[in-house]
Structure 1
């Protein structure tokens, strides 16, 4: 019961809804939901199904939530995508899981032609941290120069650029999707 209680509370908070609103959406009494979240309730399959539908999550996520996993991708490993015009390689480190809206990439780039990106979906935001080397990064019409450890964030829904200024430039890019 404690695991189910924690799962329901976690998913309700993730959805950003109140006890009252979730109870209304699921068609159950608020007191029933309150007891369930406190661990003192004994929910039926029907109640858990109704909560899953109201929260937009599979039934299984309420009764057997996903376990955090440790995943290591060593430098030089992973699925690499290369630019056609620039000496630029993007390695996808973590794709966006359900109900999250971000992807994480490791970038390896060399001086020369910049990697110019067309706008992504409206509301997208990119976050970049330089690991090694130096680069011009950000809006295509006003990029900023970054060095190791420097961070920049900028709208991803406008043209943007990544231009390595030193050999062996690397970075991590986190793309937020709306």
Structure 2
């Protein structure tokens, strides 16, 4: 992640201070992340991805192999600091494709409220277990196992578990 942050910041030709300001985080936090000593929340990474105008996955993308298997409980998992919500990147967008695939583990409590992502982003969510309230902040829908919803990710939106042990698969399609 540290290397990805430096790469993207350098690509934009912005200083640590400028990127921290754009993302609304402390310069010291960004410095720690770029040095590999920080442990960011999903909110911090989303803010940085929006400020860098890149998909979230570009910041947490694992090294690729020809065949990739991610066992349950493995993979680059990023927890939320405001909700019992963990997003594990399963597959990031290959060149020319603008989508990412995530496995979500969500527990009842505070909802995961997301600020708008890059313009044109659409989120697709399939519930595997439990029940969830998800979608645009002003019109979320309740879903159960096997249910699917698609909604704009470039507006404020949320994901809230209604039952313990809720799991979902989310495809984030970037515009």
Shorter-chain TM range is: 0.5 to 0.7
TM-score, normalised relative to structure 1: 0.61
Aligned to 1:133: 130
Choose which of 69, 85, 88 in structure 1 pairs with 2:85.
Answer: 88
Instruction: Pick one of 88, 99, 104 that aligns with 1:102.
Output: 99
1:148 paired to 2:142: no
Unaligned runs of 5+ in 2: 1-64
Distance across 1 between alignment mates of 2:130 and 2:117 = 26
Rounded Cα–Cα distance in structure 2 between residues aligned with 1:134 and 1:149: 10
Q: After the TM superposition, which parts of structure 1 deviate over 2 Å for at least 4 consecutive aligned residues?
A: none
Structure-2-length-normalised TM-score: 0.62
Aligned pairs for 1:21-170 (under 5 A) are 69-170=66-167
1:91 match: secondary structure: strand
Alpha-carbon distance in 2 for matches of 1:124, 1:109: 21
The structure with the larger Rg is 1
Mapped partners of 1:69, 1:175: distance in 2: 22
* Runs of 5+ unmatched residues, structure 1: 1-67
- How far, CA to CA, are the matches of 2:142 and 2:119 in structure 1? 25
Q: How far 1:96 moved relative to its partner? A: 1.1
String of CA shifts for 1:22-58, please: whole Å, max 9, x gaps: xxxxxxxxxxxxxxxxxxxxxxxxxxxxxxxxxxxxx
The Cα of 1:69 is off from its aligned counterpart by 3.7
After TM superposition, give the deviation of residue 70 of structure 1 in Å.
Answer: 3.1
